[in-house]
Structure 1
């Protein structure tokens, strides 16, 4: 529970009554309202494990006036790979809930702007419970409702098998993305009860959340206009990624998991699914940590993730759809992303170990390109201190630097440049020293203290001035849907927060390097995709 705070009740009309918190300062002045762990779908547990999320029925009520639903905690913690500080006793597969932060005071005409924020964590771990937006909503220029959903991660959110998919109607793939979409639909249908403007929703995310934003935007752009929700997007420290693996390639990972769990492969698909649903949570997560292909990510299913999705960027379809709906995008990076990326399950030293690690995330053909680009002699280049350091750079290039540039370049070439607003961060707040070494500089996630005004840590008055001028003044305008002064002369320029805290408008010196990798991957279809039969 956030402290200090006071009880806060709200009438959600036909959805019933809820009790949240009003966060207050030391002088008992209100900072914002908070509702933690508000369900947006029915629990995906028991026989509903590995099923698409189920919407709340029309008769669903959160509580009554006499006994309101109490939402002062947080979302359920989706089971995830064991990490320091994460207690598996806190895991809860019943995690399809959102935390909702609301500004103090009367909303503007039409309601507060809404930021639908997707947390990061490589799609393997993380939680919206790490957000602390009290300072953001009380001290910064940014005033909006923030809806931050939990969603299924790793094996629970992204297990894929074409054999099971073709045989079992109660099984689906890309469940983490479907969860996010359900939460977004819930936000569209219910946020007005919290004082929000359902016609002014920005989707944003950090890291894997940013990658998710790309896929949610792509899905939204593929819908008829009357079903579209997204008005604009924020992609913080991640790009589109590569075309996800095919369903066929994902089957190998599925089989590897069955072997570790001692589930016979020769069982009928429905029997395999039944046994997977019966495995206790801890054993399931442990098995994922024991297999070589340990990263569970999206697959190209032809439904949520279209075949040739990234071809739509290269051939102009994506740009034309963004232009037709006037979807503005803020997208950018930190200067030293690679330090943090190098810590996420790095490979053991050696060429073959590096290849095996990369294949946990990317298609075999894409990995062949990456290995030839970075290790042409099958040896560690002198510019990298270790294989782990090399891994950090590769991961950062693929997840952020290179593919982000490929996407931006294609959007500009196809006439959507006026919708793109790019940034680069080379500065970090003092409070970040408590979380990562100072010599890592502006590494991945160090800028969460910028975007969320400390995110629970205290910024100095000088730091508040820096982040307000650099990003929060234009961001507040962006979220309202008004014309934003980003300062760049053309789209390929960057709004850069320099290491000394000054703001600069600069040309992108890494564009050529990024496009080289983008184009190399495109040749093998890693930024496109071959068609295959998919069950819709």
Structure 2
């Protein structure tokens, strides 16, 4: 990182001493403190690949007064494909269960700084905490909080599942990427006071797949006893709940496809399969996934982290009642043109059959059948849709964001939790986004990160700063501190940042469409069974 800084040593009491950085301005005044690559778990390597993350032992020390642990760089990079399926393994390290921590400069308020655990996005297939830059936000705005950004296991390393592997080994676990995130949240709860944080004021948020993860982390947290509950507020930026994840039996088909691509005979015993899979290097594993029809490795309904009753809890009101009981508040919303980026991730060939197969990589067969029948009733492209890649982007954006977000929110409001929800929509694009996204894509997926994170390492103009401050940023600071916000909406309405920089609180023109899609998928059986809610 080529940014002006000086060493910063912090005493973590029984955890020892660590050295990070204090970022400074051109007058050597502190902007914020930073620690990079701090382990929150024991490395998940060798025989511990696909095991739940293991907590650091009580005796673990990061360093001593004489020799502080040096954490001035970054989290390790979980092995992953690039956005265009490249495999640059020069920075890969399976020992990636680490977090970066950003701390405001100066004395914390009474009780400590509010805390945000921020989960990065990337379709659960790729991504890193490395692309966050909070120097400007923490030094120039009222949004001052400790931000913890954990790395976690991704793709086949984070979300491999198989009933036969679960039966063969009590150590094997599905959804280990979600378990990693949970342990990072628990590590934060146990240790953030040593950084000046308030352990009673922890929010969890994320962008894209990070927002989807935040939903599942909230769901898990609502299912634990009050004494073990950690999450007080949630930010779900540009993603929603998705659908009830596939079952373990559905995951078996994907598992067998992976084995076939790796030339591992299906007749091999389950224990030997697991041993062979653990012996392979990450590059070999990832290359095999590129050949798969069902290539996305995502969450599974495992009855451990993801309950079979999850979406029944939303529809029945159990989820809303638990949020009300705990007082958990939620900011959730979208960009106006999400689909342009969504259409780039492993897009289908230019025909309906390929689109159908591509959607099956993420969703169950009943869900895909219902979606395709709804969006393409005559098997043709809708008016204004130039090709099947564009159609895929729109359907995928509806499933991940627009439609299912609205269905979830409608359920929360119907069951009395509307006062906990703050909705937004962004139709405004900062000029710095032109460096990364084509102008013709408009306010597409990811363009608002510069707004939420005050440039996120890029420069906002004075006019843009004023717009962002009034639209969202002052309220974001209030939200993280647990104060009342000046949001201006009623339930199911939306706070919208318009293209001209003005803010309007208005009715949601997409609400009825979201309700229709939610009900359609519920009737199709794509939201799980009717198991009794466990909350």
Q: TM-score, normalized by length of structure 1?
A: 0.98
Aligned to 1:90: 91
The equivalences for 1:313-324 within 5 A come to 313-324=314-325
- The answer to whether the Cα contact below 8 Å between 1:157 and 1:174 also exists between their aligned partners in 2 is yes
Q: TM-score, normalized by length of structure 2?
A: 0.98
User: Displacement of 1:441 after TM fit?
Assistant: 1.1
The equivalences for 1:35-54 within 5 A come to 35-54=35-54
Q: 3-state DSSP class of the match of 2:479?
A: helix
- Cα shift readout 1:374-426 (whole Å, capped 9, x = no counterpart): 11112222331110110010010000000000011010000001001100000
Q: 3-state DSSP class of the match of 1:307?
A: coil
Q: 3-state DSSP class of the match of 1:505?
A: strand
Aligned to 2:65: 65
User: Displacement of 1:86 after TM fit?
Assistant: 6.8
Unaligned runs of 5+ in 2: none
Aligned to 2:475: 474
User: Displacement of 1:247 after TM fit?
Assistant: 0.5
User: Displacement of 1:260 after TM fit?
Assistant: 0.7
User: Displacement of 1:279 after TM fit?
Assistant: 0.5
- The answer to whether the Cα contact below 8 Å between 1:101 and 1:147 also exists between their aligned partners in 2 is yes
Aligned to 1:335: 336
Question: C-alpha distance in 1, partners of 2:301/2:381?
Answer: 32
- The answer to whether the Cα contact below 8 Å between 2:87 and 2:283 also exists between their aligned partners in 1 is no
Unaligned runs of 5+ in 1: none
Q: 3-state DSSP class of the match of 2:54?
A: coil
Q: 3-state DSSP class of the match of 1:231?
A: strand
Aligned to 2:455: 454
Q: 3-state DSSP class of the match of 2:116?
A: strand
Question: C-alpha distance in 1, partners of 2:531/2:410?
Answer: 25
1:502 correspondence with 2:495: no
Q: 3-state DSSP class of the match of 1:249?
A: helix
1:348 correspondence with 2:349: yes
Cα RMSD over matched residues?
Answer: 1.2
Aligned to 1:13: 13
- Cα shift readout 1:246-268 (whole Å, capped 9, x = no counterpart): 10001011000001111111111
Question: C-alpha distance in 2, partners of 1:2/1:253?
Answer: 43
Aligned to 2:404: 403
Aligned to 2:286: 285
From the superposition, tell whether residues 529 and 122 of structure 1 become closer, same or farther in structure 2 (CA, over 3 Å).
farther
Which of 520-529 and 164-173 deviates more? 520-529
Question: C-alpha distance in 2, partners of 1:308/1:82?
Answer: 34
Aligned to 2:300: 299
Q: 3-state DSSP class of the match of 1:453?
A: coil
- Cα shift readout 1:501-535 (whole Å, capped 9, x = no counterpart): 11111110010111111110011221233669xxx
Question: C-alpha distance in 2, partners of 1:510/1:24?
Answer: 45
Question: C-alpha distance in 2, partners of 1:190/1:184?
Answer: 10
Question: C-alpha distance in 2, partners of 1:500/1:439?
Answer: 17
Aligned to 2:116: 115
Aligned to 1:132: 133
User: Displacement of 1:292 after TM fit?
Assistant: 1.1
- The answer to whether the Cα contact below 8 Å between 1:425 and 1:447 also exists between their aligned partners in 2 is yes
